[in-house]
Structure 1
Amino acid sequence: MAKIKIYSAVVCPYAHRSRLVLQEKGIDFDLIEINLQNKPEGFTDISPYGKVPAMSATGYAYAHNNHRVWESAVINEYLNEVFPNPPLLPSSPIAKAQARIWIDFANTRFVPAFSTLLRSSDIQQQEAAKQELYKHLEFIENEALGKLSGNGPYWFGESVSLVDFTFYPWFERWAALKHYRGLALSEEFTRLRQWKKALKQRDSVVAIANSKELYIERYARFATPVAA
Structure 2
Amino acid sequence: MSAALILISHALCPYVQRAAIVLAEKGVAFERRDVDLANKPAWFLECSPLGKTPVLLVDGEAIFESAVICEFLDDTQAPQLHPGDPLERARHRAWMEFGSSLLNTIAAFYSAPDEAALKAQAGHIRTRLEQLEAVLSAGRYFSGEHFCIVDAVFGPIFRYFDVFDAIDDFGCTSGLPKLAAWRGQLANRPSVRSAVAPDYPQRLKAFLLARGSALSRRIQRPSR
TM over 0.5: yes
- TM-score computed with the length of structure 2 as normaliser: 0.88
Contact conserved, 1:176 with 1:219, CA < 8 A, in 2?
no
- Percent identical pairs in the alignment equals 28
Distance in 2 of aligned mates of 1:124 and 1:186: 19
Query: How far did residue 113 of structure 1 move?
Result: 1.4
Distance in 2 of aligned mates of 1:128 and 1:184: 11
Contact conserved, 2:123 with 2:172, CA < 8 A, in 1?
no
- Equivalence for 1:132: 124
Distance in 2 of aligned mates of 1:167 and 1:206: 13
User: Which residue identity is paired with 2:139?
Assistant: G
Could you list the runs of 5+ residues in structure 1 that have no partner in the other structure? 59-65
User: Which residue identity is paired with 1:30?
Assistant: E
Paired residues, what number? Answer: 214
Query: How far did residue 27 of structure 1 move?
Result: 0.8
- Equivalence for 1:51: 52
- Equivalence for 1:174: 161
User: Which residue identity is paired with 1:43?
Assistant: F
Deviations 1:103-161 (A, max 9, x none): 111123x112111011121333222211111001111011x21xxx2x31100100011
Aligned 1:131-210 pairs, distance under 5 A:
131-142=123-134, 144-145=135-136, 149=137, 151-179=138-166, 182-183=169-170, 186-209=173-196, 210=198
- Among 63, 70, 85, the alignment partner of 1:76 is 70
Distance in 2 of aligned mates of 1:190 and 1:52: 33
Distance in 1 of aligned mates of 2:203 and 2:92: 31
User: Which residue identity is paired with 1:77?
Assistant: E
Distance in 1 of aligned mates of 2:22 and 2:72: 11
Does the residue aligned with 1:32 lie in a helix, a strand or coil?
A: strand
Contact conserved, 1:118 with 1:181, CA < 8 A, in 2?
no
User: Which residue identity is paired with 2:6?
Assistant: K
2:215 is the alignment partner of 1:221: no
- TM-score computed with the length of structure 1 as normaliser: 0.86
Question: RMSD across aligned C-alpha pairs, in angstroms?
Answer: 1.9
Distance in 1 of aligned mates of 2:54 and 2:171: 28
Distance in 2 of aligned mates of 1:213 and 1:183: 20
Contact conserved, 1:46 with 1:55, CA < 8 A, in 2?
no
Query: How far did residue 180 of structure 1 move?
Result: 5.2
User: Which residue identity is paired with 2:193?
Assistant: V
- With CA pairs under 8 Å and 6+ residues apart, which has the higher RCO, 1 or 2? 2
